[in-house]
Each structure stands twice: as structure tokens, then as C-alpha cells.
């Protein structure tokens, strides 16, 4: 009896085992960046930045040339608001890349290629915001002890009160928001590390 008719032969060499691909360390770092830019915390930062950008542009443009004691306050608000708006657009692209291209469409290679282009821009914006924010602090706080709001003819000390108060308040608010975000980020990482240690143990 031909046993091959009863028991079909099977060539184990032809069996293809679909083994999961382990991402490299570089890909893992890119994946972490993608996950961060697609997180709820980052989305909140983008929303807050959009709100701050609108406020800065509003006061910087509407009260142009109304602060002779320090005319650069208007420039600070306009430039800071404009570049922050550009960062918001980049943030939306970053969020879309993580949520849609990486997660929903599962095109991880494409998402990683996009984040490679995004990361240098994010770094450039971060350096610019820090430098410009420091300069803005100098312009606003340096004239705090001399500024007055009642006599526009005294150009050496006058600044429109709403404009100066807005610039001052925006700087203080930025410090508060950055502090809160920093605390939440550290807390999130500590909690995540604790969870991973419990799972591994």
C-alpha cells in the first residue's frame, strides 16, 4: 500500500514561520518620539500654544507703536506669536503622524521617516523659543520700575497699560504652564518606570 496516499507528505522546510520583527534601538527611539508627539499631553500643549499665539498676535498688532518706553515689546509679541503659530502647525503634523500614519494606518516605516524630518525642526523651534523668550523677559521686566500708563507725551516712560499688562501676564503664564508640563512629564515617566518594573518582576 502506498502510504503517501493516506498520509500526505509534508516538507517542513517549506513552512514559513512569520516571526515578529524586533525593532532596532534607533527605531525604538524613534517610536518613543512618535508616541510622545501623539500623546494627549502633547495635544494639550499644542492647544495651549495656539491660544497663547492668538493672544500674543492680538495685543502685539492691535497696540502697535503704543509703548515708546520699549517699542520692542510689540515686536516680541508679534514674532513670538507668529513662530508659535508655525510650531502649532508642526505639532499638528507630528500628532497626525503618530495617531494616523503610525497607529491607524500601521505604516511605521513612513512614520519613522517623517519623524526624522520633524525632530530637527522641533529642536530648532525649542532653541528659538528659549532665546526669544529670554530676550522678551529682558525687554518687559527691564522697564517695569519706570513704566507709567497715564501720560503718552512722556515717551521715555509711557506704555499702553493693556499692552504692557498683557506682555507681563503672558510671560508669567508661560512660566506657570512650563512648570506644570515639566511636573506632569516627570510624574508620567516615574509612574511608567514603576509600572514597567512591577511587570518585569
Asked if residue 27 has pLDDT above 50, the reply is: yes
* Grid cell in block for residue 30: 524613534
pLDDT of residue 22: 79
Asked if residue 16 has pLDDT above 60, the reply is: no
pLDDT of residue 186: 86
Asked if residue 175 has pLDDT above 50, the reply is: yes
What is the number of other CB atoms lying within 10 angstroms of the CB of residue 53?
Answer: 19
pLDDT of residue 2: 52
Q: Predicted confidence band at 8 (pLDDT cuts at 50, 70, 90)?
A: low
Residue 148 DSSP SS3? strand
pLDDT of residue 20: 58
What is the arithmetic mean of pLDDT over 108-116?
96
Distance of CA 10 to the CA centre of its chain: 56
Mean pLDDT over each residue of the chain, to the nearest integer: 89
Q: Predicted confidence band at 44 (pLDDT cuts at 50, 70, 90)?
A: very high
Going by C-alpha positions, the residue among 78, 22, 82 that lies closest to residue 50 is 82
Q: Predicted confidence band at 194 (pLDDT cuts at 50, 70, 90)?
A: confident
Contact, 74 vs 63, CB < 8 A? Answer: yes
Contact, 34 vs 97, CB < 8 A? Answer: yes
Which residues are within 8 A (CB) of 84 and not within 5 positions of it... i.e. 6 or more apart?
Answer: 49, 52, 53, 56, 129
Of 60-74, 116-130, 187-201, give the lowest mean pLDDT range: 187-201
* CA atoms of 34 and 31, how far apart (whole Å): 5
Asked if residue 183 has pLDDT above 50, the reply is: yes
Asked if residue 6 has pLDDT above 60, the reply is: no
pLDDT of residue 112: 96
* CA atoms of 164 and 15, how far apart (whole Å): 74
pLDDT of residue 177: 92
* Grid cell in block for residue 85: 503659530
Of 7-21, 29-43, 59-73, give the lowest mean pLDDT range: 7-21
Separation in Å, CA 34 to CA 24, 30, 162: 15, 6, 40
What is the arithmetic mean of pLDDT over 54-81?
97
Asked if residue 3 has pLDDT above 60, the reply is: no
What is the arithmetic mean of pLDDT over 52-77?
97
Separation in Å, CA 126 to CA 83, 133, 186: 11, 10, 19
What is the arithmetic mean of pLDDT over 158-170?
97
Amino acid at each position: 500500500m502506498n502510504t503517501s496516499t493516506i498520509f500526505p507528505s509534508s516538507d517542513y522546510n517549506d513552512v514559513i514561520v512569520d516571526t515578529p520583527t524586533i525593532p532596532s534601538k534607533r527605531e525604538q527611539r524613534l517610536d518613543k518620539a512618535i508616541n510622545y508627539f501623539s500623546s494627549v499631553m502633547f495635544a494639550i500643549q499644542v492647544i495651549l500654544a495656539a491660544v497663547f499665539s492668538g493672544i500674543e498676535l492680538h495685543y502685539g498688532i492691535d497696540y502697535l507703536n503704543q509703548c515708546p518706553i520699549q517699542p520692542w515689546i510689540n515686536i516680541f509679541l508679534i514674532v513670538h506669536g507668529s513662530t508659535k503659530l508655525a510650531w502649532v502647525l508642526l505639532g499638528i503634523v507630528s500628532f497626525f503622524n503618530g495617531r494616523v500614519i503610525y497607529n491607524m494606518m500601521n505604516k511605521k516605516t513612513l512614520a519613522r521617516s517623517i519623524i526624522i524630518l520633524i525632530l530637527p525642526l522641533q529642536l530648532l523651534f525649542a532653541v528659538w523659543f528659549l532665546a526669544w523668550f529670554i530676550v522678551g523677559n529682558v525687554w518687559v521686566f527691564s522697564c517695569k520700575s519706570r513704566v507709567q500708563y497715564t501720560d503718552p507725551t512722556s515717551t521715555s516712560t509711557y506704555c499702553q497699560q493693556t499692552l504692557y499688562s498683557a506682555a507681563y501676564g503672558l510671560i508669567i503664564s508661560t512660566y506657570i504652564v512650563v512648570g506644570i508640563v515639566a511636573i506632569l512629564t516627570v510624574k508620567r515617566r516615574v509612574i511608567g518606570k514603576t509600572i514597567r518594573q512591577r511587570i518585569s518582576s
